[in-house]
């Protein structure tokens, strides 16, 4: 983002202003309207029932949207134009209803059950412990609603896909580490086999030459002697770099 902003600072500033003042404000207004509507219509005289009702409705809708996600992805991948935008917006609106009910249910249940006689301590604990746990899980960025997207602009059916990759990414990293360790072990084994073959090849060559020693001239005998000494030093470990060269 900083790199893009450095190339087009004017457009970057306009994007920041638009996303915060326009889109961000409209998101808050939409949440406020839906939240208060539920306060007025869902067991308005019984906060406990209202909170539990929101939680059940919210998780029910969330489960439904995740179950429908493959179908919606397939559908949006094949639609174009206004139909694609309309179908994506309907699905996202349903997801929004589930999200706001989950938020409202959890929020109000904490108000009711978690240290209701000491709201200040309750607020500090819920804020502090939750953020620390998110940080330990490397998910603290999830506290933010990051970015602004244009409806149905992502390629294929990605416009209705929720970016949830935590557990899958963890196992993928572990598989990658295991594969890397296996490849390293195979490379080391291959290097050891190569070193052994080189040593064996040198030894065999010396034996072959020794069998024909009676046929060698004086210069050849001198070369054979040097090669024999070199082989002996290699076996004794006094010149380990010879084989590498």
What share of the chain has pLDDT > 90, as a percent?
A: 38
Q: How far is CA 179 from CA 170, 171, 193, 211, in A?
A: 14, 12, 21, 48
Q: Could you tell me if residue 80 is left (phi over 0), alpha (psi between -120 and 50 degrees) or otherwise beta?
A: beta
Is the Cα dihedral 77, 79, 81, 84 positive or negative?
A: negative
234 near 242, Cβ under 8 Å? yes
What confidence tier does 239 reach under pLDDT thresholds 50, 70, 90? Answer: very low
Residue 208 covered by a domain: yes
**Higher per-residue pLDDT: 123 or 2:** 123
pLDDT tens track for 179-191: 888 887 777 777 7
**Would you state the pLDDT for residue 242?**
40
pLDDT of residue 4: 54
Q: What is the mean pLDDT of residues 32-57?
A: 95
Residue 227, both tokens: 């090669």
Confidence of residue 33 (pLDDT cuts 50, 70, 90): very high
Please identify, among 161, 183, 206, the residue that sits at the C-terminal boundary of a domain.
161
Residue ending a domain, among 108, 139, 161, is: 161
Q: Express each pLDDT in 84-96 by its tens digit.
A: 889 989 999 999 9
Split into its structural domains, the chain has a count of: 2
Question: Is residue 31 included in any domain, yes or no?
Answer: no
Inside any domain, residue 85: yes
pTM above 0.85, yes or no: no
Tell me, yes or no, whether 182 and 81 share the same domain. Answer: no
pLDDT (0 to 100) of residue 3: 55
Q: Are residues 180 and 203 in the same domain?
A: yes
Residue 175 lies in a domain: yes
pLDDT confidence of 111, banded at 50, 70, 90?
very high
- Residue position matching structure tokens 């291959």: 190
Q: Say whether both 115 and 175 belong to one domain.
A: no
142 and 212, same domain (yes or no): no
Q: Given pLDDT bands bounded at 50, 70 and 90, which one contains residue 241?
A: very low
- Using pLDDT thresholds of 50, 70 and 90, give the confidence band for residue 47: very high
Do 175 and 139 sit in the same domain of this protein?
A: no
The answer as to whether 139 is a domain residue is yes
Q: Among 161, 184, 211, which residue terminates a domain?
A: 161
State the average pLDDT for the chain. Answer: 79
Q: Tens of pLDDT along 147-168? A: 666 776 777 677 777 777 677 7
Answer yes or no: is 218 within a domain: yes
Q: Which residue range forms the structural domain that includes residue 196?
A: 170-244
CA angle in degrees (0–180, nearest 5) for 170-171-172: 90
Residue 99: name the closest of 147, 153, 38 by CA: 38
- Euclidean distance between CA atoms 3 and 12, whole angstroms: 10
Distance (Å, whole) CA 212 – CA 218 = 13
Q: 200 with 238, same domain?
A: yes
Nearest of 236, 166, 165 to residue 199 by alpha carbon = 236
Looking at residue 43, what is its pLDDT? 94
Same domain, 131 and 207: no
Asked whether residue 71 falls in the same domain as residue 114, the answer is: yes
Is 14 a domain residue?
no
Identify whether residues 67 and 121 lie together within a single domain: yes
- Mean pLDDT (whole number) for 206-223: 53
* Residue 195 shares a structural domain with residue 105: no
Residue 67 in domain? yes
Residues 157 and 174 in one domain: no
Question: In this structure, are 144 and 240 located in the same domain?
Answer: no
């Amino acid at each position: 983002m900083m790199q893009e902003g450095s190339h087009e600072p004017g457009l970057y500033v306009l994007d920041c202003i638009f996303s915060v003042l326009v889109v961000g404000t409209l998101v808050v207004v939409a949440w406020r309207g839906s939240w208060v509507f539920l306060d007025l219509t869902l067991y308005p005289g019984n906060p406990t029932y209202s909170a539990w009702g929101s939680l059940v409705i919210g998780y029910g809708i969330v489960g439904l949207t995740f179950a429908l996600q493959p179908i919606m992805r397939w559908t949006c991948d094949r639609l174009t134009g206004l139909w694609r935008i309309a179908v994506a917006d309907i699905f996202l609106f349903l997801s929004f209803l589930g999200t706001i009910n989950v938020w409202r249910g959890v929020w109000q249940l904490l108000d009711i059950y978690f240290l209701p006689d000491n709201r200040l301590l309750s607020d500090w604990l819920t804020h502090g412990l939750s953020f620390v746990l998110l940080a330990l899980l490397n998910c603290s960025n999830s506290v933010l609603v990051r970015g602004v997207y244009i409806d149905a602009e992502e390629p294929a059916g990605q416009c209705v896909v929720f970016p949830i990759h935590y557990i899958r990414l963890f196992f993928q990293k572990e598989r990658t580490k295991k594969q890397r360790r296996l490849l390293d072990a195979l490379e080391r084994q291959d290097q050891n086999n190569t070193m052994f073959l080189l040593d064996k090849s040198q030894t065999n060559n010396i034996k072959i030459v020794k069998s024909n020693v009676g046929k060698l001239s004086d210069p050849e005998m001198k070369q054979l002697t040097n090669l024999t000494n070199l082989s002996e030093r290699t076996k004794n470990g006094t010149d380990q770099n010879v084989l590498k060269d």
